[in-house]
Each structure stands twice: as structure tokens, then as C-alpha cells.
A and B are shown apart, each in its own frame.
Chain A
């Protein structure tokens, strides 16, 4: 779950008000953030990505896990 105070927008801009750090994400990451904000489960997010993008399940799984790891590394997820 993404931290409540993290600001995101539909263009993929992410701002952490606790550290002052800001990030730009690509459109796929922006859509994942939007789904996370809506409270979707990992399974729902994977299904939405599979319905939207032309990629196999393994690739989607790997890319989603990579992105979540990055969010954790940047301390953007609730611990």
C-alpha cells in the first residue's frame, strides 16, 4: 500500500512530502500507482495490466514486483 501522504498525479509525477524527493514515472508505472491508490489488490492490478498491455503473465509479474521493490527502496510504501 502506498503511503497516504505521497502525492501522485496521472502524468506519473510522484512527490514524497516527508523527504522532498520527487520522481517521474513512465505511463505503465503511473497506471499501477493509480490502481494502488484505488486500493486494488496485486491480483487485480496484474489482471488490469494483462488486459491493457500486450505482455505475458510472467513478464507482468516480474515488472510489477520490480516496481514494488523500487517503491519500497524509495520508502514510498507503508511498512
Chain B
């Protein structure tokens, strides 16, 4: 008897490194939460992304062009992969690649590939450069910030916001600067890496909290999981965290989803100050790297996203386990050079 065709799901963000992409966690959650057989197609940018070689993660991996190559290049490579693999759903996991995916979402749909993404308007509303205005408009607490295009404007921003302050790249990275000299150094490093503008933000002292959430695109929150970072790396990433029971954090995420009608996964980075006020530091337009904790706490957000992408109606989750921890670890894989060569030379690898 013939086996039914598996669900083919393509996932990016296989860089499970010290500043990890969410791909491996998303795949792990999807494999656990989708009842029918799934075939995972990994989409990697670089040949040393650990998720390419990890056992039980991807069935086949393709190398794809960097987001800077543009939407047409992405569409071209996905069309080629789709011809061979028959992709049902794609889950992009990088901020920088989302504009391209949003731009080609309709063409992908016509090819039979489904995504579950925010619109361009939603994506831009939470952009770092517009977040303060967005917060003001909707009564959400967001630190003051300045968008800096010129090195000479950095000192002006510093005078207005005071020190310490946070220097942030437009896509990734944030550095706390205690002095104007540290701010200048951070500006040079971040602008060289991520381009201009650089965002300079008021520093809020407090407890770092994150929220992973999933919106249905109609203003409803399908799932919200708040987490407190328990161990933070020097890159500011959570290396361990614990789920919290806090209605005020759930309300915050519900409000964001209601006003934006957010479609897809996102992460809110929160700083709760000494007065217990939750400041929104950033809203990332995709699942966080710790998203497997959502499955561990009883709300498998990646699996719910896949089901919604396939047209299934999902009822909002109502409960989760508070006090579930994730503790990340590092693990050295031994990989035969032949596999590395295969992927490097041909841009494809079958696991």
C-alpha cells in the first residue's frame, strides 16, 4: 500500500549557534505537533549552520541566496526547490528575510506554497525605527529613542536620552553604552555590520522578559507564552528561561495582536522596571529561538501556525504550564567531511 505524501515544510534559521536562529526549535516543535508524517526541507544560507547536519531535524537541505539578493532571487530558488520537493508550507525565521517572503507570498500561494505571515503594514508598524510612535499611538510603554543616520547626530541623541543608553542595529544586535565613547564604538561596529540607520534607545533597568505569541490575522491571540530569562549570554540571548503566570503580560500581547491584527508568530522583548511597568523594548516579527518552550509548556505555536497555514481553524489556547524551564546546551557533532563537501559543492544535502 502506498504511503500518503508527507506534509512538506520548509524552514529557515538553521543557525543553532550562540546567537541562535529559531529554525531548529521550530522544526522540533513541528515534528512533535503535527500528527501526519512530515518532511522537513531546511533552507540554509551558510554551510556551517548546525541544523544542516543535526540528526532528526531536516530531511533535505538546500542552500539559498542571502536576503540582500532580493525577492526575485528568492522566488527563483524556491521555485526550483518546489519543483523537486512539492513544498506545502514555508516558515521563514529571520527578520531580514521577511520582507522578501512577504513580497512573494502571493506568487508562492499560486504555486501551492502556503505561508502564515504578517502583512507589510503589520511588519513595518513594529519596526525598531517606528516602535516608539507605535507605542504612543496605542498606549503601550516603549522607551524613547532616536534614529541616527549620521555619526555627528549620535552625540545629540546621547545628550537628549542621557547615559547609559542602548545602541541597536536595524535588524539585530544591541549594545549598552555607559559613556559617549562607548556609544561611538558601538555605533561604528553596528553600522558596519548592519548598515544605517542605527537606533539609539533610552536604557530601562529591570527584569528581562520575553513573550512568544501567535496571532490569527483577525485580531485573535491563538497562543501567548511569557518567559523570564534566567541566564543571559554576553550577546543578550536567553540561555535558560522559565514560563511565567502573569495576566498583565498576556494582556499586553493580546492588545498588540488586537491593534495590528497580527498574522503569524512574533516575540515581544519586555523590560519590567522596579515599578512593575512593562516596557516593550522590541517586537520581533517571527518566532524566537526559544520557541520550543511553547510546546513544552503546552501550546505548540509552530505546529498551530502550520495548521493555520493549511487552512485549519485553531481555537485559542487557554492554559499553559507556568514554571517550565528551558536550559540550552552546546553539543559537538562529529560530521564526516564528505557531507560538508556535498553541501558546500552542490548546495544540497540529503540526511
Verify if B230 is at the interface (C-beta below 8 Å from A). yes
Interface positions, chain B 210-244, Cβ under 8 Å from A, are 228, 230, 241-244
Flag if A18 contacts B244 (CB, 8 Å).
yes
Verify if A19 is at the interface (C-beta below 8 Å from B). yes
Verify if B37 is at the interface (C-beta below 8 Å from A). no
Least CB separation from A20: chain B residue: B228
Complex Cα–Cα for A20 and B323 (A): 7
Q: Scoring B residues 302 to 339 as 1 if CB is less than 8 Å from chain A, else 0, what string do you get?
A: 00000000000000000000110000000000000000
Interface positions, chain A 8-32, Cβ under 8 Å from B, are 15, 17-20
What residues on A are CB-neighbors of B230 within 8 Å?
A: 20
What residues on A are CB-neighbors of B241 within 8 Å?
A: 20
Flag if B322 contacts A17 (CB, 8 Å).
yes
Verify if B246 is at the interface (C-beta below 8 Å from A). yes
Least CB separation from B322: chain A residue: A17
Least CB separation from B246: chain A residue: A18
Complex Cα–Cα for A5 and B245 (A): 9
Complex Cα–Cα for A7 and B241 (A): 18
Flag if A19 contacts B323 (CB, 8 Å).
no
Q: Distance (Å) between the CB of B198 and the closest chain A CB? A: 32
What residues on A are CB-neighbors of B322 within 8 Å?
A: 5, 17
Q: Distance (Å) between the CB of B296 and the closest chain A CB? A: 15
Q: Distance (Å) between the CB of B91 and the closest chain A CB? A: 28
Complex Cα–Cα for A19 and B242 (A): 9
Q: Distance (Å) between the CB of B249 and the closest chain A CB? A: 9
Q: Distance (Å) between the CB of A3 and the closest chain B CB? A: 11
What residues on A are CB-neighbors of B244 within 8 Å?
A: 17-20
Complex Cα–Cα for A19 and B243 (A): 9
Complex Cα–Cα for A18 and B228 (A): 10
What residues on A are CB-neighbors of B243 within 8 Å?
A: 17
Q: Distance (Å) between the CB of B157 and the closest chain A CB? A: 33
Flag if B323 contacts A15 (CB, 8 Å).
yes
What residues on A are CB-neighbors of B207 within 8 Å?
A: 19
Flag if A17 contacts B228 (CB, 8 Å).
no
Least CB separation from A21: chain B residue: B228
Interface positions, chain B 242-298, Cβ under 8 Å from A, are 242-246
What residues on B are CB-neighbors of A20 within 8 Å?
A: 228, 230, 241-242, 244
Most buried by B among A5, A15, A17: A17
What residues on B are CB-neighbors of A7 within 8 Å?
A: 323
Flag if A18 contacts B323 (CB, 8 Å).
no
What residues on B are CB-neighbors of A18 within 8 Å?
A: 244-246
What residues on B are CB-neighbors of A19 within 8 Å?
A: 207, 228, 244
Which residues of B does A touch, CB under 8 Å? Answer: 207, 228, 230, 241-246, 322-323
User: Could you list some 18 contacts between A and B, CB below 8 A?
Assistant: A5-B245, A5-B322, A7-B323, A15-B323, A17-B243, A17-B244, A17-B322, A17-B323, A18-B244, A18-B245, A18-B246, A19-B207, A19-B228, A19-B244, A20-B230, A20-B241, A20-B242, A20-B244
Which residues of A does B touch, CB under 8 Å? Answer: 5, 7, 15, 17-20
Can you list the 7 inter-chain pairs with the closest CB atoms, starting with the nearest?
A: A20-B228, A17-B322, A17-B245, A20-B242, A18-B246, A17-B323, A20-B244
Apart from A17-B245, A20-B244, list 12 A-B contacts with CB within 8 A: A5-B245, A15-B323, A17-B243, A17-B244, A17-B323, A18-B245, A19-B207, A19-B228, A19-B244, A20-B228, A20-B241, A20-B242
